[in-house]
Structure 1
Amino acid sequence: MNSAINETGVDKFMKIFIYIFLTFALLIVLYPLIYIISASVSDPAAVNSGEMWLLPKGFTLEGYKMILENDEIWRGYLNTIFYTALGTLINLAVTIPAAYALSRKDLTGRNFFMGMFVLTMFFSGGLIPTYLVVKSLGLIDTIWAMVLPNAAAVWNIVIARVFFQVTVPKELEEAAIIDGCSNFKMFMKIILPLSAPIIAVMALFYGVGHWNSYFNALIYISDKDLFPLQLVLREILVLQEMSSQSTNLTGNMAEALHSKQQLAAIIKYGVMIVSTLPVIIVYPFLQRYFVKGVMIGSLKG
């Protein structure tokens, strides 16, 4: 029996079209990455003048040297690692128990609580009320302002709830209860060991979110010693933008600003690479968990 499938002219045309479309999409995605990598090792003058548009021009590692010697960048790096680790732990400590509780059919009022959770996905108090709450709790200019306001994401709770409903056998829970196991002990001894996939998925979702987050720091943090790396990068980019638009400054102020602008121009692309490198390195090894997170609840069997 011939295993090959005979393709019609339309099939061949569609296959060619798909390959062309995917190649075009790949180029659109790859170009910014290649540009940033090339710009990080190119002469800033060549980058700013537009001479460098793909491959490096005037190869130099001066930007990376300055990055390695810059205390603010390293402090931001350490802060981001700390915020990511602490924030992810808090997220998991809230999300997993909440999702499991909402998945239990014997939880009185679970539909009401689930409805209240989902309601917050569509309606919220807004930025100003949230800021006032954070301020009234005394979290301004503290590390807790970076991790507590976003302690849980409702969408992740919904995903984890579906996982528990679909994956954890109800017979297992009933057997544990018959054997005299309390709800807390059952959660710690039985449910958590079976929940490694969803814990990994949630840790990745939350971890990447914390690593890329800068808005909370922008709103709640004014102490530079607490700045995450993304906010340090933002300051570098804003500094260069301000310098390029400042035409009325004279004397020492203009000279000092121009000097800082040159420094920002040299290191800004390198900082982009350094800030995203950990996620780029880790993602290929953990990609399957992202795929699993998307597929959770789509199949049952």
Structure 2
Amino acid sequence: MLSGVKESGRDKLFLICNYIYVFLAFVIVFYPLVYMVSASVSDPKLVGSGEMWLWPRGLTFDGYKRVFDNSNIWVGYGNTILYTVVGTAINLAVTLPAAYALSRKDFVGRNLFMGLFMVTMFFGGGLVPTYLLVKKLHLVNTIWAIVLPSAASIWNIIVARTFFQSNLPKELQEAAQIDGCTNMRLFVKIVLPLSMPIIAVMALFYGVGNWNSYFSALIYLNDADKYPLQLVLRQILVLQEMSAQGGGAMDASTAAALNNKAEIAALVKYAVIIVATLPVIAIYPFLQRYFVQGVMIGSVKG
């Protein structure tokens, strides 16, 4: 508030409501994070019984030890890094040139192409035709089945196009053409260096999406040594669920073995979630300033 301006009762009530809302939003976001970290270093029996609900209890690092000793998890980690790096590079190589071309008013037929692109946002061929296409191209059980079908997001192309329209004046293009600059050189030497905010935003969007993706791998990959980390985590969750539901007509030793396996799976599950999330959390602070600037310019203006 400006100095010397008296707040009315409604202003104070509005401010109090804002503080309450922000506090509740903080609790809703913060609690699951604290719970995951605490559960990853707590006794799985206490976690499963609900005795551990916030802070660690029965401190143990067996979950992280098992993660570091499990070769399947590290193979999945390496595969995820590979799929994320290659996939994000392909995403940017497709999205940025397409968005820039569609932002140029001298591009003949840009409205037609934009309309065709937008149709795909509302209508799709479905899973079966997509699988048949990937199989026909001999991409099944390869990295290309993971990164090529999702090479571009129409929504991201629209956001990037809006950024180019709002931040690259036409005079810049005209000046480059007068100096004899080709369209390709203009894009590489001038447009891209001036577009770091939207490049960072697109890299973050695509990178997080590729990092968390598991459905494409579930459909197209057959070899376990090509599974990404998220699919390995899914297998751990399925194992825990099957062990938990394995009770019934069985002797005490078998039931105890299944229960122990479920506890180990639960412990490893929380540890893997933390390990899988850390890279994204570590990278975000370096892209935060570009992220805020790029999203606001790319989605509000134009």
TM-score (normalised: structure 2): 0.93
Q: Report the alpha carbon displacement of residue 249 of structure 1 after superposing the two structures with TM.
A: 6.7
Q: Report the alpha carbon displacement of residue 259 of structure 1 after superposing the two structures with TM.
A: 4.8
Distance 1:258 1:173, change over 3 A: same
- Where does the alignment leave 5 or more consecutive residues of structure 1 unmatched? none
Q: Does 1:158 align with 2:165?
A: no
1:275 corresponding residue in structure 2: 276
Assess if the C-alpha contact under 8 Å between 2:214 and 2:228 holds in 1: yes
Of 155-164 and 189-198, the range deviating more from structure 2:
189-198
Assess if the C-alpha contact under 8 Å between 2:98 and 2:157 holds in 1: yes
What percent identity do the matched residue pairs reach?
Answer: 64
Partner Cα distance (1:25, 1:107) in 2: 45
Partner Cα distance (1:293, 1:90) in 2: 20
Q: Report the alpha carbon displacement of residue 195 of structure 1 after superposing the two structures with TM.
A: 2.0
Please give the residue correspondences for 1:83-122 in structure 2 after superposition, counting only pairs within 5 Å.
Answer: 83-122=83-122
Q: Report the alpha carbon displacement of residue 4 of structure 1 after superposing the two structures with TM.
A: 3.5
Q: Report the alpha carbon displacement of residue 250 of structure 1 after superposing the two structures with TM.
A: 4.3
Distance 1:249 1:280, change over 3 A: farther
2:173 corresponding residue in structure 1: 173
Distance 1:140 1:14, change over 3 A: same
Q: Report the alpha carbon displacement of residue 187 of structure 1 after superposing the two structures with TM.
A: 1.8
- One-letter amino acid of the structure 1 residue matched with residue 285 of structure 2: P
1:291 corresponding residue in structure 2: 292
Map Cα deviations across residues 254-280 of structure 1 (whole Å, 9 max, x no partner).
676545323212211111111101111
1:220 corresponding residue in structure 2: 220
Q: Report the alpha carbon displacement of residue 193 of structure 1 after superposing the two structures with TM.
A: 2.1
Map Cα deviations across residues 137-171 of structure 1 (whole Å, 9 max, x no partner).
11111111111110000011111111111111211
Q: Does 1:235 align with 2:213?
A: no
Map Cα deviations across residues 187-245 of structure 1 (whole Å, 9 max, x no partner).
22222222222211111111111111111111111211111111111111111011111
Partner Cα distance (1:101, 1:253) in 2: 64
- One-letter amino acid of the structure 1 residue matched with residue 215 of structure 2: F
Assess if the C-alpha contact under 8 Å between 2:47 and 2:53 holds in 1: yes
2:207 corresponding residue in structure 1: 207
Distance 1:196 1:263, change over 3 A: same
Assess if the C-alpha contact under 8 Å between 2:197 and 2:291 holds in 1: no
Map Cα deviations across residues 113-143 of structure 1 (whole Å, 9 max, x no partner).
0000111111111111111111111111111
- One-letter amino acid of the structure 1 residue matched with residue 87 of structure 2: G
Matched length: 299
Please give the residue correspondences for 1:3-152 in structure 2 after superposition, counting only pairs within 5 Å.
Answer: 3-152=3-152
Assess if the C-alpha contact under 8 Å between 2:45 and 2:263 holds in 1: no
Partner Cα distance (1:259, 1:137) in 2: 45
Q: Report the alpha carbon displacement of residue 51 of structure 1 after superposing the two structures with TM.
A: 1.0
Q: Report the alpha carbon displacement of residue 178 of structure 1 after superposing the two structures with TM.
A: 2.1
Partner Cα distance (2:93, 2:24) in 1: 43
Partner Cα distance (1:74, 1:162) in 2: 40
- Where does the alignment leave 5 or more consecutive residues of structure 2 unmatched? none
Partner Cα distance (1:162, 1:249) in 2: 63
Partner Cα distance (1:222, 1:257) in 2: 27
Please give the residue correspondences for 1:186-205 in structure 2 after superposition, counting only pairs within 5 Å.
Answer: 186-205=186-205
TM-score (normalised: structure 1): 0.93
